[in-house]
A and B are shown apart, each in its own frame.
Chain A
């Protein structure tokens, strides 16, 4: 399968714990995005990378959220000191920006439940 993969698919944690999610994009894609989606809403943009550079991170929900893409390949999203309001689906998408448009290919998501 050469699509976007995310791990884990599900994560249950207790409030106050740290969690880390991984995203492996389509190999030839240079852009990688992170979104959060809650029930009944569309994906909400969090941050994105072009290669290893994080070009936009102002929309990360708080300073408890951070993301890395150390070698321009896979990426991780970390949430520190989780809160119940962090419970959501976290989606990763990748794209190959070579034109004036940018179509994104999404992974299956990681569903986070904070107890």
Chain B
């Protein structure tokens, strides 16, 4: 069955360091992958989208990589700040139905 795995344990890092979050998937052929940020009690907010034929995408301090051979996406936040503390969700879409499947998310805590 299709499966998306994000680390269920919170990632704790020190301010200024680079945070790296992982999204692994199995039995899936996504046409693109998206990363969202979710704060407690709020809806997810779109951050970045990367297509299957793209290796890397950047936006300000954010970088996403997509390796369809490894079936993995990495999400990086450089020069992390306490305000980056949130849950980060990855979502995969096969591109046919435009119905994304979300991972459970990974909580990031950036300590000052």
- Known A4-B43, A101-B51; judge A45-B100 contact (CB<8 A): yes
B98→A102 contact, CB < 8 A: yes
The listed residue (A45, A56, A91, A103) touching B43 by CB distance below 8 A is: A91
Within 8 A of A (CB), among B15-35: 31-32, 34
Q: Is B49 an interface residue (CB 8 A)?
A: yes
Closest to A9 in B: B41
The residue from A33, A43, A91, A100 contacting B95, defined by CB atoms under 8 A apart: A100
How many residues of chain B are within 8 Å of chain A by beta carbon? 27
Distance (Å) between the CB of A21 and the closest chain B CB?
Answer: 13
Do A108 and B97 touch (CB < 8 A)? no
Q: How far is the CB of A97 from chain B (nearest CB, A)?
A: 6
17 new A-B contacts, CB < 8 A, other than A93-B43, A104-B100, A108-B42, are A40-B8, A40-B104, A41-B104, A42-B91, A42-B105, A43-B102, A45-B101, A97-B98, A101-B31, A101-B49, A101-B93, A101-B95, A103-B49, A105-B46, A109-B41, A109-B42, A109-B43
Q: Which residues of B contact A108 (CB under 8 A)?
A: 41-43
